[in-house]
């Protein structure tokens, strides 16, 4: 059995030991998976390789696919994703999955950087302090979701208002304000985390809308979902598509 020629070329450019091992141990499976993921899916649209791999890494964190993350992180470096960009994708996931699920990815990332002789720690890129993070986070929320977010950090019942404050200061102030990725890229990877982990449809609809507000239109998000589908499966991909359509209607 043979995978398609385009898939073979793509796998060669990825140049990852784990993928090569599967091709030897499970050739019948890899004939179909590689021909689909690395040929049919890749050539479906005009998404550039760098954006594709950024989305894939975020989706793999979201679905907890750490074994494939190790291979795809190496491939992402081969396809032009910078170490700093990879680090930001991993760090930002903490706000959407929690440290319990992200720590293994931080350790895997650092291990691969060391294997590639990439010196750690990478440069610091924070732009806020503990004193300025809430205000800066609110500004990011407003840019993404609109003026209605300006006072959101102090809204809600007294016993839960601290969570809205943390959302502004921690989720947006600590992560979205960092250098290394722009706001549109950060919203795109957030969409991927949420789509891949499932069970968060209201947040997925909200961030589909946020993506559209910062320039990632419906067509772009469909391309992102398409590229993530081999890694997160059809049910979560279809839920993500439904969220995009709902956000577009609004």
Domain positions in the chain are 1-44, 126-177
If one counts every other C-beta atom within 10 angstroms of the C-beta of residue 71, the result is 21
Confidence of residue 163 (pLDDT cuts 50, 70, 90): very high
Q: Tens digits of per-residue pLDDT, 31-58?
A: 999 999 999 999 999 999 999 999 999 9
Confidence of residue 92 (pLDDT cuts 50, 70, 90): very high
pTM of this prediction?
0.97
| CA triple 49-51-53, angle to 5 deg | 70
Percentage with pLDDT > 90 across the chain: 95
Determine the Cα–Cα distance for residues 20 and 14; give it in Å rounded to an integer.
10
């Amino acid at each position: 059995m043979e995978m398609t020629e385009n898939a073979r070329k793509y796998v060669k450019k990825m140049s990852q030991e784990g993928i090569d091992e599967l091709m030897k141990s499970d050739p019948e499976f890899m004939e179909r998976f590689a021909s689909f993921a690395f040929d049919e899916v890749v050539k479906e649209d005009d998404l550039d390789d760098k954006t594709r791999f950024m989305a894939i890494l975020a989706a793999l964190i979201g679905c907890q696919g750490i074994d494939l993350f190790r291979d795809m992180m190496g491939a992402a470096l081969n396809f032009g994703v910078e170490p700093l960009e990879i680090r930001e994708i991993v760090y930002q996931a903490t706000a959407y999955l929690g440290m319990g699920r992200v720590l293994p990815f931080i350790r895997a990332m650092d291990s691969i950087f060391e294997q590639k002789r990439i010196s750690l720690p990478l440069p610091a890129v924070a732009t806020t302090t503990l004193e300025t993070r809430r205000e800066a986070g609110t500004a990011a929320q407003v840019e993404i979701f609109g003026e209605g977010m300006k006072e959101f950090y102090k809204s809600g019942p007294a016993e839960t208002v601290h969570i809205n404050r943390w959302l502004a200061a921690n989720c947006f102030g600590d992560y979205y304000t960092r250098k290394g990725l722009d706001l549109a890229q950060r919203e795109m990877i957030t969409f991927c985390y949420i789509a891949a982990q499932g069970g968060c449809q209201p947040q997925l609809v909200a961030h589909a809308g946020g993506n559209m507000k910062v320039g990632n239109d419906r067509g772009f998000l469909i391309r992102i979902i398409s590229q993530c589908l081999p890694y997160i499966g059809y049910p979560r991909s279809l839920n993500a598509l439904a969220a995009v359509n709902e956000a577009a209607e609004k």
